[in-house]
Amino acid sequence: MYISCSAEQRTLEIPDKGEMKIAGYWSPQLGLYSQPVLLQWEAGKVSSLQPLEDYKTIYKGREEWHAYFLLPGWIDSHVHLSLDSLDFFQCLENWNQPALIEKNVKLYLQSYLDNGIIAIRDGGDLPGFAWQAKNKVKEGLWQGPEVVSVHEAVGRAGMYGRFLGRGFPDLSKWRKNEKDFFAQGLDQLKVIVTGLIRFDDFHKVGPSQWTVKELKELVKTAHDRGILVMAHASGEEGISLAIEANVDSIEHGYYMTTDQLELMREKGIAWVPTVAPIGNILKYPSNRYSAHEIDTLKRILDRQLETICKAYSLGVRLGVGTDAGAYQVPHGESLSDELDWMIKAGIPKLEVYRRATSENAQILGRPELGRLDVGTPMNQLQLVKEL
């Protein structure tokens, strides 16, 4: 078996039973302990976390991990395994070479583990590359984090999202295909509520794709099957549609208002604000965007960070998702950027960690993840250098 060592961006092979001295630990369940600890595990699961107040005289065993802290593995709640973070249109052309995409996806999966990420939620692709990856990992054929996949998204035919799913022209067409759509397999349902934000026009968002009545029906088809619903939505109109339709999480959510945040808190709807696709363009500058676009991006970023801070102060459920695969948002390593953006928004570091572990586990519908306690599998944990 293995444990992720994000401190060195690699995975470590470990025996099913062992012990190591570590610098301390943190988890939402146990809190922070920043003194030396004896970590013991049996049958691949944590069996003891014993404080070593005088470890030099008490403990004389293995110390390879003495500089590491033990944490629950990170969870990235919004990724796109089928995209390469470099060139969207070239990547779509590469979809005609499944062997190339498969090779790339296997590298991305390893990158997630190397960066301490033990689970991801994929937002879908029309060919089903991420769904294939989910099954390959589950069957033990590929090494990687647990993949929660929507398989393909549900959007309005002819509008934004054609690369994410086949699209349906209306609800009557959806009703005819609903049974087969769910039968193909999916962990969550993703609905595309709006188009994208504009980089050259502040507050401009692509049009909404569904009425409230239509969106409620789409959401109900999933909820009746016990399936969570994630909604791609930005702009006041689209976000209001998603809230009224009782989705489980809103992805991106640019230009969200305080009133909407309060409604989300009341309904328990989570928000995954995906700052990296905007912030990383500014953090890692290139010649790709005009001065006007850069100025607009700065305004969008400032607005998003302010809204995240407001959401935290109001007690809204907040997830951490990178939108990895988007330009300048590489798989695995960009989670550190997203964590930094959330901290920059004004959320205390350990509270951000809580959202990247236990809260994300709830958003994925995998509450057994994002934990560190006696009984936690070692391959759901990570080793970090500092807290």
Q: pLDDT confidence of 54, banded at 50, 70, 90?
A: low
Q: What pLDDT score does 13 carry?
A: 96
- Amino acid, res. 39: L
Q: What pLDDT score does 178 carry?
A: 97
- Closest by CA to 256, choosing from 208, 307, 200, is 307
Q: Give every CB contact of residue 216 below 8 A, 6+ residues apart in sequence.
A: 244, 245, 246
Q: What pLDDT score does 56 carry?
A: 57
Q: What pLDDT score does 64 carry?
A: 87
Please tell me the distance from the alpha carbon of residue 218 to that of residue 198, in angstroms, as a whole number: 27
Q: What pLDDT score does 60 carry?
A: 64
Q: What pLDDT score does 284 carry?
A: 96
pLDDT tens digit sequence for 337-361: 999 999 999 999 999 999 999 999 9
Residue ranges of the chain assigned to CATH 3.20.20.140: 74-364
pTM of the model: 0.97
Q: Which CATH architecture has domain 2-72+371-384?
A: Roll (2.30)
The fold adopted by the segment(s) 74-364 is: TIM Barrel (3.20.20)
pLDDT tens digit sequence for 265-279: 999 999 999 999 999
Residue ranges of the chain assigned to CATH 2.30.40: 2-72+371-384
The answer to whether 221 and 190 have CB atoms below 8 angstroms apart is no
Q: Is residue 142 scored above 90 in pLDDT?
A: yes
pLDDT tens digit sequence for 20-43: 999 999 999 999 999 999 999 999
Name the DSSP letter for residue 170. S
The answer to whether 271 and 316 have CB atoms below 8 angstroms apart is yes
Q: What pLDDT score does 261 carry?
A: 98
Q: Is residue 57 scored above 80 in pLDDT?
A: no
- Amino acid, res. 193: V
Q: Is residue 132 scored above 90 in pLDDT?
A: yes
Q: What pLDDT score does 55 carry?
A: 55
The answer to whether 297 and 280 have CB atoms below 8 angstroms apart is no
pLDDT tens digit sequence for 180-232: 999 999 999 999 999 999 999 999 999 999 999 999 999 999 999 999 999 99
- Amino acid, res. 309: C
Percent of the chain with pLDDT over 70: 98
Name which of 58-62, 341-345, 365-369 the model is least confident about. Answer: 58-62
Strand partners, 382: 4, 71
Q: Is residue 59 scored above 70 in pLDDT?
A: no
pLDDT tens digit sequence for 78-123: 999 999 999 999 999 999 999 999 999 999 999 999 999 999 999 9
